[in-house]
Every structure is written in C-alpha cells, then in structure tokens.
Amino acid sequence: MARITLLGTGTCVPSLARSACAALVQTGTETFLIDSGPGTMRRLLEVGVSIDDLTGIFYTHIHPDHTAELVPLLFATKYPECTRTRPLCLYGGRGFGAFFEKLKGVYGEWMDPGPGMVRLKELSVEGPDLFHQGDLAVRTAPVSHRPESIACRMVFPWGRAVVFSGDTGPSDSLVSLSRGADILVCECSTPDGEAVPNHLTPSLAGKIAKEAQVEMLVLTHFYPACEKVDVEKECRSTYDGQLVLGEDLKLFDL
C-alpha cells in the first residue's frame, strides 16, 4: 500500500490553515516529497515523519513557495543526531542543477550533509522523461507554467498511479500524463472569475480530469480568493467524478 499526504495546499500567501506547496508519497521503500515549500518540515513532524526518513524530493519548478525549505532541510541534516544513512535524491527540470549550485554559493557547507549524501538529476522539459526511485516508477512531462515546470506520474508496483500537476495552466501534456490515473493532485489557484495565465481554475482543472478520465481529482494550491467561492460547484461544471478539495494533512491510501 502507498500513502499520499497533502502537507501543504496553499501558496506564497501566508495562511494559518494552509502551508505552502508540498506532498508526501510513502511506499514500501520510499518516503518521497513533491516540492518543499515553507512549513514542510513542521508538517512532516505532524504526520510522524523525520527528515532523516526522506529518500527523495521531486521539484515541479523553482518558485520559492515550492522550494524554499530545501536549504533549511539540508542544514537540519547536519545536526549531530541526524541518523541519515541513505543519500537524498533531488529531481528537477532544466536548470535545477545550476539553481542548486547557486544556493551552495550562498550557503556553502551549511547545506552539505556530507560526501555523496545528495544526488541530483535534471529531467527533460522537452518531452516525457522516466526514472525509478526504489519501488516507484516516475514519468514526467512538461507543463505550462515556467520553462523548467514538470508534472509527474508515480506508478506503484501493483499498478496504481498518482499524478502531481505542480503549477500549470491548461496543458495537453498533463492530460496525457494523467490518463486513467487513480488520483490527480491538481493545482487550482483562483476562482473561475479570476483566472490568471499559467494557472488553473476549478473548471479548468475539472476539464483536464474529465479528459484524462482520472478516478479522483484532488484540488490544491488555493490562493485566498478560492476560500470565498464554491470551488466544488465551479469544478462540477466540467467534472462529475470523485472530487476532493485538498486540506493540509489530508491522507489518501492507494
């Protein structure tokens, strides 16, 4: 069995109810983060997971609300009581390696947990890419947000799959990546009446889920404007499948 936990369902806007973007995937061999926005480490503790347990982090793009806790996390691994014995694998799109090196240029040894304890892999943004992390098979695809933006589809050994959109606007590539998935965790930044470029609204997210024929759509990445409208009603204008409005610490078992 795999467990998906929404650690942060908010954005860059401070909120007492929603941390910034992060989700956790736990399998037989992996404890894997999708993004690590501010507040991620505290949320991990709330679900009983230590940063020493993490085996990998997948970054959908490099905006601060998705990456800002990377440096504090690596710094925390230098604490003398850290029990990490396995390297932490970091994945990102084009330019992620340069981004990481620039952070090291600022923080130096403060974000170095030791020789060989961090492994980086840049993934293609020109088309689909594939990698394996323990018992996870992860397929990626570029999406419409930033040049390095990628969504990912995680497939478990027993065949079930979850897709994380990251930030994106309407993207045919996301529809293809999500086809037949058990869960699509999809951004839903603003209400239908306040749409902005390179992001999704409830009805646009619902349209993607319907076209991809996913079993369950989970909406996340809510800006404050979404708290003032009936997000479910707007999404139902295009999608009639299983629908969940994401909340921090919400669990899904696959």
pLDDT at 82 over 80: no
Task: Give residue 83's pLDDT.
Answer: 80
pLDDT band at 81 (very low <50, low <70, confident <90, very high): confident
Q: Which amino acid is at 187?
A: E
User: Up-side HSE of residue 22: CA atoms within 13 Å toward CB?
Assistant: 28
Predicted confidence (pLDDT) per residue in 183-197, tens digit = 999 999 999 999 999
Task: Give residue 84's pLDDT.
Answer: 84
Task: Give residue 127's pLDDT.
Answer: 86
3-state secondary structure of 188: coil
The mean of the pLDDT values for the chain is 96
Both ends of the chain: CA-CA distance in Å?
6
Give the span between the Cα atoms of 60 and 149, in whole angstroms.
Answer: 5
Predicted confidence (pLDDT) per residue in 103-141, tens digit = 999 999 999 988 899 999 999 998 889 999 999 999 999
How many other β-carbons are positioned within 10 Å of the β-carbon of residue 138? 20
Domains of the chain as residue ranges with CATH: 3-253 (3.60.15.10)
pLDDT band at 78 (very low <50, low <70, confident <90, very high): confident
Length of the chain: 254
Using CA atoms, how far residue 244 sits from 76, 97, 117, 164, in Å, is 33, 35, 37, 14
Task: Give residue 80's pLDDT.
Answer: 77
pLDDT band at 179 (very low <50, low <70, confident <90, very high): very high
**What's the burial of 105, exposed, middle or buried (CB within 10 Å: 0-12/13-18/19+)?**
exposed
Closest to 18 measured CA to CA, from 247, 243, 252, 251: 247
Closest to 227 measured CA to CA, from 11, 66, 60: 11
The helix (run of H) or strand (run of E) holding residue 219 is: strand 216-220
Q: Which amino acid is at 122?
A: E
